[in-house]
Structure 1
C-alpha cells in the first residue's frame, strides 16, 4: 500500500490548550498546515497536516475552544459566529468537544476569546467533562469488579482494570486543567 507523502499524520495528547496551540504553530513554521483532526475525547488526537504551499498561509493563527453541544443548531450558530469574526472551524460536527479554529485574516482579532473569564470558562468546561468521564469509568470499574467477584471470569477483571486506567487518565486531565484554571485566577 502506497502512502501519500503529501500528508503527515501525527497522534498526540495534550492536557494544556496553550501548549497544543503552540505546537500547531510550530508545525506551521516547519511547513505543515493542519487540515483536519480526530476528536481526542477517547484517546489521543490524530492531526492531519499537509505541506504549506501558499505563502499567505504562513501567517495562520490557531486557537482552541472546548465546548459540547446537544443540538446541531447550537453547533451551527457557534460556527457561524466565529466565521463572521474571521475564524474557520476545523471541527467536523457537533460531537467534537475540542474545536480548533484558524484564521488567515490580518484584520481578525488575534484571539477567539475577548477576556480572561472566557479562558476560565473553557477550563471549567474541560474540567467538568474530565471529571464526568473519570466518574463513568470508575463506576464501570466497580461494576466489572463486582461481576468478576460473582462470576469469577478474568474477562470482567481485565475490563475492570482497563476502566480503572481510563478513570485515572481523566482524573489526571482534570487536575492539569484545574492547575491551568488556578493560574488564570
Structure 2
C-alpha cells in the first residue's frame, strides 16, 4: 500500500483584494475557507501543515503545525511550497502536496490524480480548461518531490517567484479536470467571490 503523502495548505498570501486580514479565516457559508479545504483534503493525504506568516496562534484551534516562509518579505506561494518541501522531508516523505487555502471546492480525488500524473521531474499540476477551452494550470494545487528543494531555493534566491514559471520549466505532468458545471479550482479572492460561491456549497 502506498504511503499517504503529506500536504501543505498555502495560506501565506497578503489578501489585499479580500480587504486585508487572514483569507484562510474568511467565511464561506458560515465556515472558514480553511475548514472547507481541510474537509476535502484530510481523507486524501497524510499529515497536514499550514504555511502562513505572522501569528501562528490564529490557527490554534486547528491543531496543525504552522510553517512560515524561510524568506524575508513576501516571496509568494513558491516560498510556501519550499517550506512545505522542507517540512515534508522532516516527516520522512519524498513528496508533498500543495493546495491553496482559497480553493474550497478541491476535488475528492485530487491527490490520487496528481500521483498518477507525475511528470518526469516528479511534479504534477492540477489543470482545467478556461471559458475559451484553453487548458489552464493551477500550480498551487500540485505534487512536488522534496528532492527539488535545492533547485527551488536557488530559483527563489535568484529572484524567480512565479510558481507557474518554475513548475513549467521542469516538465510537469498534469491532472486535467472538467470545469463544468464549475471549475473545482475556483478561488476566492474578494468578498464578492465568497458571496457568489455560497450557493455552490
TM-score (norm 1): 0.31
Larger Rg: 1 or 2? 1
Q: Scaled by the length of structure 2, what TM-score is found?
A: 0.30
